[in-house]
Amino acid sequence: MELYFFNTKTRKKELFQPQQPPRVGLYVCGPTVYDYAHIGNLRAYVFSDILRRVLEYNNFQVHQVMNITDVGHLVSDADEGEDKMLVGARRQKKSPFEIADYFTEAFFNHTQRLNIKDPTIACRATDHIQEMIDFVQVLLDRGYAYEISDGIYFDISRFPHYGKLSRLNLEEQLEGARVEVNPEKKHPADFALWRKAPANHIMQWPSPWGMGYPGWHIECSAMGLKYLEGFFDIHTGGVDHIPIHHENEIAQNWGFTGKEVVRFWMHSEFLQVEGGKMAKSLGNIYTLEDLEEKGFDPLAFRYLLLNAHYRKKVNFTWEALEGAQRALERLRENFLRFKEASPGRGNQKGPEQFRTEIERAFNDDLNVPRALALTWDILRGEDPTLEYYKLLLEVDRVLGLGLEQVERPPVEEIPGEIKKLIEQREEARKKRNWEEADAIRDHLEEQGIRLIDTPQGVRWERIKKKGS
Question: Site residues for RNA, window 294-323 (CB under 7 A)?
Answer: 304, 307-309, 312-315, 317, 319-320, 322-323
DSSP class of residue 210? S
Residue 251 CB, nearest approach to RNA (Å)? 14
| Ranges within 66-125 binding RNA (CB under 7 A) | 73-77, 84
Site for RNA in 226-245 (CB under 7 A): 237-241, 243-245
Q: What angle do CA 92, 96, 98 make, to 5 degrees?
A: 75
- Three-class secondary structure of residue 236 per DSSP: strand
How many chain residues bind RNA (CB under 7 A)? 88
**79: nearest Cα among 151, 174, 137:** 151
Single-letter amino acid, residue 264: F
* Residue 447 burial (C-beta neighbours within 10 Å; 0-12, 13-18, 19+): middle
Interface characters, 344-383, with RNA (x: CB under 7 A): -x---------------------x-xx-xx--xx--xx--
| Residues of span 174-203 touching RNA by CB under 7 A | 175-179, 191-192, 195
Task: Among 5, 7, 24, 40, indicate the residue that binds RNA (CB under 7 A).
Answer: 40
Q: Select 98 or 333, whichever has its Cβ closest to RNA.
A: 333
Among 215, 298, 384, 400, binds RNA (CB under 7 A): 215
Is 31 one of the binding residues for RNA (CB under 7 A)? yes
* Sign of the torsion angle spanned by Cα atoms 320, 323, 329, 333: negative
Task: Output b/e per residue, 228-245; b: 16+ Cβ within 10 A.
Answer: beebbbbbbbbeebbebb
Give CA–CA dist 163/141, Å, rounded: 24
Interaction of residue 343 with RNA, rule CB under 7 A: no
Of 61 and 78, the one with the shorter C-beta distance to RNA is 78
DSSP type of residue 77: S
Smallest gap, in angstroms, from Cβ of residue 20 to RNA?
27
| By CB under 7 A, residue 271 contacts RNA | yes
Instruction: Of 77, 75, 67, 151, give the one whose Cα is nearest residue 86.
Output: 75
State which of positions 275-294 bind RNA (CB under 7 A). 275-278
The full length of the chain comes to 468
Applying CB under 7 A, the span of 13-21, 128-136, 387-395, 435-443 interacting with RNA comes to 435-443
